[in-house]
Amino acid sequence: MNIELLNKHIESYKKNLKKDPEKHINDLNERKERIDFYQSWTNEKILSMTEDDLYNYISKLWAMLIWGNKNYVVNKMIQDNGFSELKNELAELVWGQKPLIKRWDNFRKKIKGIGPAMISEILCHVHPNDCMVWNRRAYVALNYLGVKDLPRYNYQLTGKKYKELSEQTQKIVEAMREAGIADVNLLFADYFMWDELQVEDNLAQIYAKTKNTKEMPMVEIASDETSDFIHDEIRDKLSDIGTWLGFTSSIEKKVADGSKVDTVWESTVGNMGKIIYVFEVQTKGSIDSLIVNLLKALNNPAVQGVVAVSDSSQLEKIKKHAQQVPNLNTRIKYWDYKKVLEVHEALEMVNESINSLDLVPQGF
């Protein structure tokens, strides 16, 4: 980390605090309110949550700003995971006795629809001295300060990496304390990064630096564990994209006898019925199984198209297999999963910006 550059921004931050003390007081009060709220949810209280409680708990997160209909998102979390399982794993994540690394990895493996931004935000609000908030803004800030090996994709954010990032962010906390700023913790550092370090907050600039990197491995050479994380990340982001485009999205859904697919986009056309698009993400496993699964999905007359999602190498192999299947070769489409990630990030930024305008108030 470039400490000299950091100290320069800390001095700028201190000057801004003096110019606008009211903002500083408001930020302090907001941080305290958020910490008090999330720390009030003890292990026992989380386990006894109602669905309305869960909505109140999740909807306050900054990571939820990208969603206009927060009820839909929370209901989908419950549907995809089961309410009891979700509460149990949330309590274990926040208050469990195992090391942070294991709690993080366990939650990521078991719970669908709650990504690193939400997980880290919850942990930071409950444990602001040990856990940082990780999101796009944190990436921009730490990248600007010269921190190396930052994760560009969710699958890279293991428990070990999250702990390392929290330790890196702790250096910001220490530098601010040395500069005479009081009551600093990792949540304070998040506010500082938003106010002072968003100097490269431009999607085109970020991708200009990362588009040609080798951070995203070809799935055929990824480890079994990495492969699983890539698969689940792409599956979930396909679901997000569908929702943002106005479809009803589902993951791991049965669309025909013997066909349970990764992601489904559905749209109801008046009283005429449904239009369905099916996505299968290929990382590890048999391509023949993917072909059979998509063929079975096409037995459902509502399915208008099927899409295979993988890296460029795997997609070429899938194309060769599909060309030999008459009922599939004219209906299957192909989507490189790096493009999926880029589309997701672009739509995420658009939705966050639009939803921040509060054009549509939340209903009951």
pLDDT tens digits, 79-89: 889 999 999 99
Provide the pLDDT for residue 350.
Answer: 84
Phi, psi at residue 265, to the nearest 5°?
-110, 130
Provide the pLDDT for residue 185.
Answer: 95
> What are 112's two structure tokens?
């669908």
Provide the pLDDT for residue 214.
Answer: 47
- Residue 172: name the closest of 159, 187, 157 by CA: 187
Provide the pLDDT for residue 363.
Answer: 42
Provide the pLDDT for residue 200.
Answer: 57
Can you say whether the dihedral through the CA atoms of 244, 246, 250, 254 is positive or negative?
A: negative
> Could you give the CA distance from residue 186 to residue 166 in angstroms, rounded to a whole number?
8
Q: What is the pTM of this model?
A: 0.78
C-beta of residue 335 within 8 angstroms of C-beta of residue 278: no
Architecture of domain 219-349: 3-Layer(aba) Sandwich (3.40)
C-beta of residue 322 within 8 angstroms of C-beta of residue 274: no
pLDDT tens digits, 120-143: 999 999 999 999 999 988 999 999
pLDDT lower than 70: segments of the chain:
200-226, 271-272, 355-364
Provide the pLDDT for residue 217.
Answer: 54
Which residues sit opposite 263 in a β-bridge? Answer: 251, 279
> What are 289's two structure tokens?
């199984």
pLDDT tens digits, 27-70: 889 999 999 999 999 999 999 999 999 999 999 999 888 887 78
Provide the pLDDT for residue 341.
Answer: 86
C-beta of residue 87 within 8 angstroms of C-beta of residue 102: no
Inter-CA distances, 74 with 60, 61, 113, 137, Å: 12, 12, 9, 24
Provide the pLDDT for residue 364.
Answer: 33
Provide the pLDDT for residue 202.
Answer: 43
Which residue ranges does the chain devote to CATH 3.40.1350.10?
Answer: 219-349
